[in-house]
Amino acid sequence: MPCIYTKLIHIKMQKSIITILGARPQFVKAAAVSRAIKKHNNLKEIIVHTGQHFDANMSDIFFTEMEIPRPNYMLNINSLSHGAMTGRMIEEIEKILIKEQPNYVLVYGDTNSTLAGALAAKKLHIKVIHVEAGLRSFNMAMPEEINRILTDRISDILICPTTTAIDNLKREGFDNFDIRIEQSGDVMQDAAIFYSQKSAEKSIVKSANNLVDGAYVLATIHRQENTDDNDRLCSIIEALNTINSQQRVVVPIHPRTRKIIAEKGINVDFSLIDPIGYFDMLELIKGSKLVMTDSGGLQKEAFFFGKKCITFRDETEWVELVTGGFNTITGADKDKIVEAFKNSINKSCDFAVNLYGGGMAADRIAEILAEK
């Protein structure tokens, strides 16, 4: 009888956390935090996948190989306008929150799923925890910027990856709000470290494409501001064509972007390969001479593996990489891109500096959640 009583007390004292996810990168980040949460007996996690970025590769192999927790709820909300999507998500998430009655709702980053989860929770007076809080691109034309600002403002605990993120919040007056601000480091670094050995064992992307370590530049183009603007897209591709004449350029390309290039008859001299998974991307980064991208996450992953980066954007949330000389912002200007390549290719950088927590961010987040 005492054993049963002890078990009941333990269950009663558990904190219930509902994690809201909507995009594949969020699952990779959440996997790191979920592993850390499992170390604490007083924490119970329930995962909700909104389906915002539906991905056929989100299959049994994806969950099994990457050891990512399967969602407890799958909402299948996608392919809608921003307003319709966010509204539907709020409605469906609210039903789950009423049913489960969690202590906290945990959201990541800056997607529509992030904002919907935060709004649904706040309306029900459930505490909101925002991981990757305080990031700012200072470009209000980006839906992500709106999502992250609004989510920060209504959250109860803001978990920031960097001191820059904390400084952003302080400049916006968050010290005057009844909000707890913590610095954890970046969970993407946790994930990169954890999966690096697995990717080395499982990925065949380099051998399949005849790629030799240190003998190619890895580039990606996916942001709509680049792919849907003919002048920007042509300028980036012309720059990559020029660079390819000096160093092989490899670009994993989304079918939509490939279609745009074909329809507009844009000449491509570099290597286009099919879209790749997370393991393959890690291996391509590790083997590259340099990374060129318009992705937010890839800018950091390049740093994690000691690779310099050139970014085809007009701004970045990861300003510490720019100030530290690890990343160069060029926009879509061909001449600036080519010049940045020339300057970066043989430039030396001290990648030993600890900007993102050194792989301990998930444990820090779980400790914050587990506090009595």
Tell me which residues are annotated as active site: 222
Question: Coil, strand or helix: which one is 126?
Answer: coil
CA distance 79 to 361: 33
CA distance 63 to 77: 20
Maximum Cα interatomic distance, the chain, rounded to a whole number of Å: 77
Enter the DSSP assignment of 58: -
CA distance 174 to 179: 7
Which residues, including other chains, have CB under 8 Å from residue 354's CB and lie 6 or more apart?
none
Question: Coil, strand or helix: which one is 215?
Answer: coil
Judging by DSSP bridges, how do beta strands 104-108 and 73-74 pair with one another? unpaired
Which residues, including other chains, have CB under 8 Å from residue 97's CB and lie 6 or more apart?
18, 105, 120, 121, 124, 126
Place of tokens 């300028």: 235
Structure token digits, residue 228: 């849907």
Judging by DSSP bridges, how do beta strands 309-311 and 327-329 pair with one another? parallel
Place of tokens 């001191």: 163
